Structure 1
Amino acid sequence: MIAAIFAACLVGLAGIALYLWQQRSKEKERPQMPKEWPLLPRLLINSKERRIWVWLAKVMYDQQIMIKLPVTRFTIPAQREEAEHWYNMLNRVYCTFTICGLDGRVIGCVDVPGAAGLSMSNQTLKYGLLSQCGIPYWVVEPDNLPHMSQIRTAFLGDGALRANEQDRMDSRLKGVADDLHAAVSRQRTNKSTTAHEHHGFEPTSPPPEGPLTEGWEQNSFMAPLDSRGAELRQD
C-alpha cells in the first residue's frame, strides 16, 4: 500500500516537473523585444506611384487620399461570426490609393500596376469586392491618365464638377501633366547618366517589398469601433 502511494507521488511529481519544463520551454521560444531594431526607414511609395499620387491630389483636391490601406480597414463582414474567416482571406489585400471624404467614408480606390503589372485575378477580386460595397475601383497608369471629369464623376457622381470649375481644373491638370512629363524625363536622364558612369550597367532596383504583417489582434474588421459602426453601414 505504501509502495503504491509512493509510486503515485513520484508520478505526480514527474508530471509537475514535466509541466514546469514545458512552460519554461515556451517562454524561451517567445520572441524577445530587441534593444536595437534591425530595421531602416523606406519610402512608402515608389516613383511611379508618386506621380499618380500628385495627380490624384490635384484631381481629388476636396477629398483625402490614403496610401496602401487594407480593404479590411473600411469593410465589415455581413455575418459577425464569419469575421475571422474573411479577415484571414483579405487582410493582405489593399489598393495603392484609397480616396475618402472628410467624414471618413471611402468613395473610390485606385491601383497603380507595378513593374510586373497587375494580374487579372487581383483586379477581378478587388473589382468584385469593392463594387458590391458601392466603391468604384480604377487601375491607372501614369502614361494613360483618365480625364479628371471621368474619375471625379465616377467617384463623386454627376454633380461632382461644376461648370465654372472646368476651365480652372483643366488649367491645373495641364500643369500637373507637365510636371509629370518633366519628372519622367529627369528620371530617364538620371538612369542614362548613371548607367554610362557604371560602364553600361543599369543601377540596381530597390529591394522588393516584404510581406505584410499578419494584422492586428484587435482591429475594426473583427470588432468594429462603436463610434463609427452604425454610421458607415448601409442596408
Structure 2
Amino acid sequence: MGCTLETLSTLNGTLWLLILGCLLILFVALLFRGTNKKDEPMDVDDMAVWPYVPRELMTPPERVLYVRLRQALPEYLIFSQVQLCRMIEVSPEADKQSWFNRINRMSVDFVICAPDGARILAAIELDDSSHQRADRVKADNKKDKALASAGIRIIRWPVKGMPNAQQIRADFLRR
C-alpha cells in the first residue's frame, strides 16, 4: 500500500466531510436544546418570592425633620416622599405628555396639607450638600418652577441649618 497523492486527497476530503458533519450535528443538537421547555428559565411572574427587600422611606435627617414637623404643625396632615405628578397636573390646553415628562419621577421630601387633605399648603425640601451640584441645582429649579406655576409654595431648608419646631411653625405661618 502506497501513499499516493490521490489517496491523501481522498482522505483529506473525507476528513473535512466528517468534521463538517459533526459540526452540523452539534449545531442541530444545540438548536433543539434551546427549544426544550425544561431548559427555559421560569417566567418571573411565576416565581413564588420576588427579589425585593424593604428599604427606609426617609433618610435620617428627613426622619428628624418629620418629627419636628409633627411637633410644629400637629393640626396639619404631613406626607413624605410625594411625587410631583400626585400634586400637580398639566393644564388641559398644554401638551400633556411633554409637560408631564418634565416632572415625571420628581418628588418632594414632605407635603403639608389642610386637615381635611383637600388642599396642599406647602411642599418642603431638605437640601443636603448634593443640592449644590449643577445638575441638582437645575433639577431643583425645574421642581420649584413647576410647583410655583401650580400655586404651591415650596420651603427649602438646608440639612445643616434644619430649624427646630418653633422656627418651623413660625416660618410656615409667616409665608
Asked if TM exceeds 0.5, the reply is: yes
Matched, 1:84 2:94: no
Contact 2:89 2:100 survives alignment (8 Å): no
CA distance in structure 2 between the aligned counterparts of 1:81 and 1:32, rounded to whole angstroms = 39
Any unmatched runs of 5+ in structure 1?
A: 1-27, 155-235
The Cα RMSD (Å) is 2.4
2:155 alignment partner in structure 1: 138
Q: Secondary structure at the match of 1:117?
A: helix
Contact 1:110 1:139 survives alignment (8 Å): yes
1:227 alignment partner in structure 2: none
CA offset at residue 133 of structure 1? 1.6
CA offset at residue 138 of structure 1? 1.3
Q: Number of paired residues?
A: 126
What are the Cα deviations for residues 36-79 of structure 1, in whole angstroms up to 9, with x where unaligned? 11011111001111111111111121111111111111212112
One-letter amino acid matched to 2:130: A
Q: Secondary structure at the match of 1:96?
A: strand
CA distance in structure 2 between the aligned counterparts of 1:132 and 1:67, rounded to whole angstroms = 21
What are the Cα deviations for residues 139-165 of structure 1, in whole angstroms up to 9, with x where unaligned? 1134423422122222xxxxxxxxxxx
Query: What percent identity do the matched residue pairs reach?
Result: 19
CA offset at residue 123 of structure 1? 2.2
Measured at CA, do residues 45 and 54 of structure 1 come closer, stay the same or move farther in structure 2, by a change above 3 Å? same
Matched, 1:116 2:130: yes
Q: Secondary structure at the match of 2:130?
A: coil
What are the Cα deviations for residues 172-196 of structure 1, in whole angstroms up to 9, with x where unaligned? xxxxxxxxxxxxxxxxxxxxxxxxx
Structure number with larger C-alpha Rg: 2
1:10-159 → structure 2 map (5 Å cutoff): 32-33=44-45, 34-79=47-92, 82-101=95-114, 102-114=116-128, 116-117=130-131, 119-146=136-163, 147=167, 148-154=169-175
Contact 1:72 1:87 survives alignment (8 Å): yes
What are the Cα deviations for residues 209-228 of structure 1, in whole angstroms up to 9, with x where unaligned? xxxxxxxxxxxxxxxxxxxx
CA distance in structure 1 between the aligned counterparts of 2:69 and 2:120, rounded to whole angstroms = 15
Higher alpha-carbon deviation: 82-91 or 37-46: 82-91
CA distance in structure 1 between the aligned counterparts of 2:145 and 2:74, rounded to whole angstroms = 27
CA offset at residue 115 of structure 1? 5.3
One-letter amino acid matched to 1:117: H
Q: Secondary structure at the match of 1:112?
A: strand
Any unmatched runs of 5+ in structure 2?
A: 1-39
CA distance in structure 2 between the aligned counterparts of 1:87 and 1:45, rounded to whole angstroms = 25
Q: TM-score, normalised by structure 1?
A: 0.48
Measured at CA, do residues 56 and 150 of structure 1 come closer, stay the same or move farther in structure 2, by a change above 3 Å? same
Q: TM-score, normalised by structure 2?
A: 0.63
